Structure 1
Amino acid sequence: MTKAATAVSTHTPTPAPTASQTAIPQEIAVNDYEMILIPAGFFFMGMNSQTLQEECELFNAGCDEGWFSSSQPVHIVQLDAFYLDRYEVTNEQFVQFLNEMGSHEQTCLAEDCWRASDSKILADDEGFYEIGPSEVNLPVTGVTWYGAAAFCAWRDARLPTEAEWEKAASWQIDNEEKFVYPWGNVFEGNALNHCDDNCDAPQANPSYDDNAAEETEVGSYLNGRSPSGIFDMGGNVWEWTNDWFDENYYAGSPVKNPQGPASGTTHTVRGGSWFDTGNFSATAVRFPAPPTETSNSIGFRCAQSLRPKQN
């Protein structure tokens, strides 16, 4: 991958950028993690469930509009500026976290950070973690919500809120336009990794060929970037967000920096995956997953707030 800036040579967490009257960098590189600025401002969050059902019908017969009812009503949201990872977190990056943090149960609020059965990460008898050379740049999978949150905190970052994730995935700032998919309003089968002709599953769609059977290296689909220039916000792996899931949350969601429900039993995942048909990569699609869930089709990326200027 081409680096946007010179990476810091230490693994010590670097303080978040400071908001000031000077220009805010559009891209930053913190300890090898490239991040893109998502400017402050409004966007329209959500999508009509009928629109999402119609997209689903392009791939599957018998799609139920109720599958997508939690994505409505469309509502206006105002967000502060923030940074979001250009790429999904990779196996190599998560291995570094596990090896530096030691006992992962203690690191992740007494919960498992990950499970080997849903991951390509290996552990030896002495507790050292490693990844095969051909898999270092694949998105990490098999990570619980607790593991994702702990990794981001280790980086002095955090998981994105649902609203932050959706704005970065869908909002064309210059034209104030909401995209159905990260790249535009029409599905493009070669713009993402989804369950196509290469996918060994009943839902595989032979009409498309994305050159991948499972996960692909992060950043592989140049024409699938979001309006903000972020890779893989559609397909490859679902991504954890910080928010608890509530199918009715949008009906009373605050306008300014919504953080999701105060509590719940499941968190929200976004973006679709290599194991799902392409319609689930629509930017407004949202689904619940228990925080202890591990899957070979769920990963994550991190966000970082701009801190107030210190006097």
Structure 2
Amino acid sequence: MNSICKFLFLNLFLLIFCNECFCRCMVFIPNGNYVPLFRNSNLDYLEHEVDSFYLDKYQVTNFDYLIFVLNNPFWDTLTKKDILVDDSYLNYWSNIDNFVIYADKPVVNVSWFSSDAFCNFYDSRLPSVDEWEYVGSVGAKTINGKSEPGYFNLLSLYINSSLNDISTVFDMPCNFFGACGIHFFLWEWVHDFNSVILINTDAEGGGLEELLYCGATSTNAIDPADYIAFLRFAFRNTLDANYTMIKLGFRCAKDK
């Protein structure tokens, strides 16, 4: 049984026994400002204004992605194009004996291209860096996440976890905006993931210092303690659009 037929069978099973998996809903994110990781060379604090938008409450699950693949066979593992995804694309699916266990866990090993195609299929898009970081800056109970005890303990979730540690999306904690699992084990694709390039620069870098952070330009970080955000930017800097990774998933956004 090839992969697409196998998942068709699993799909029929899930349709009957896994109604909860259909819960793809969005939360409204109100417009607002946040202080990004980077500031300009004059060390001014520059808030970024983010317009209101909608964001998936949960990360896209394996079940969600399965439905997408069934409707778009181009993205099946047997027909995928190497230029759009690398060899690790959905490779763990073939090792899943009980798909139901993974159905409502976040899908991983998906590329920017495949994630973008998924969102477009559902008349949505990947969130921008600003949108994601804005949502990621809030806490569980307040709009200022850094003011909450334990916010910086989130660092361990990015580093000390494996695929087996990932819970179902419905068990992940939600933040002040109602978005769940924002800081829970996984990195997430954003539309403009490569919009900030991190390289070493010197004092003659000029305007580059407004965007770059590394080595000599480290003073351009807004908050020296904001190591979590720096890790996200550094991680995005390592990606190409066809990369897939075991701890990299996504969620979709939509304009208001």
TM-score by length of 1: 0.54
| 8 Å Cα contact 2:85/2:243 also seen in 1 | no
Which of structures 1 and 2 has the larger relative contact order (alpha carbons within 8 angstroms, sep 6+)? 2
Pairing 1:112–2:71 present: no
Q: Which residue of 2 aligns with 1:285?
A: 232
Aligned pairs, number: 203
* Contact 1:46/1:74 (<8 A) preserved: no
**Distance in structure 2 (CA, Å) of the matches to 1:109 and 1:161:** 25
Is 1:239 aligned to residue 210 of structure 2?
A: no
For residue 160 of structure 1, what is the aligned residue in structure 2?
127
Separation of aligned partners in 2, 1:76 and 1:298: 28
Give the direction of change, closer, same or farther, for the CA distance of 1:231–1:101 in structure 2 (3 Å limit): same
DSSP 3-state at the match of 2:188? strand
1:303 aligns with 2:250: no
Contact 1:143 1:299 in 2 (8 A): yes
Aligned CA distance change for structure 1 residues 228 and 143 (closer, same or farther; 3 Å): same
Q: Which has the higher strand share?
A: 1
Q: Is the 8 A contact 1:116 1:122 kept in 2?
A: no
> Aligned runs of 1:39-54 on 2, under 5 Å?
39-46=30-37
Q: Give the corresponding residue for 1:84.
A: 55
Distance 1:280-1:176 versus aligned 2 partners, 3 A rule: closer
Equivalents in 1 of 2:209, 2:150: separation in Å?
Answer: 22
Q: Which amino acid aligns with 2:32?
A: G
Please, which runs of 5 or more residues in structure 2 have no aligned partner? 1-21, 199-207, 213-225
Following superposition, the deviation at residue 294 of structure 1 comes to 0.8
Please name the residue that 2:152 is paired with.
187
Pick from 210, 228, 244 the counterpart of residue 251 of structure 1.
210
- The answer for unaligned runs of 5 or more in structure 1 is 1-30, 49-71, 124-129, 201-211, 254-278, 307-311
Greater helix share, structure number: 2
Shift of 1:217: 1.2
SS in 2 for 1:33: coil
Partner of 2:244: 294
Q: CA RMSD of the aligned region, Å?
A: 3.9
- Residue type at the aligned position of 1:161: S
Matching residue of 2:115: 148
Separation of aligned partners in 1, 2:187 and 2:26: 19
| CA pair 86-192 structure 1, distance change in 2 beyond 3 A | farther
- Alpha-carbon shift at residue 226 of structure 1 (Å): 2.2
CA contact (8 A) 2:89 2:109 kept: yes
CA distance in 1, matches of 2:131, 2:120: 17
Q: Which residue of the partner structure matches residue 172 of structure 2? A: 221
Q: What is the percent sequence identity of the aligned residues?
A: 22
* Structure 2 CA distance for partners of 1:220 and 1:175, relative to 1, 3 Å: closer
Write the letter of the residue equivalent to 1:137: D
SS of aligned partner of 1:83: strand
Q: TM-score, normalised by structure 2?
A: 0.64
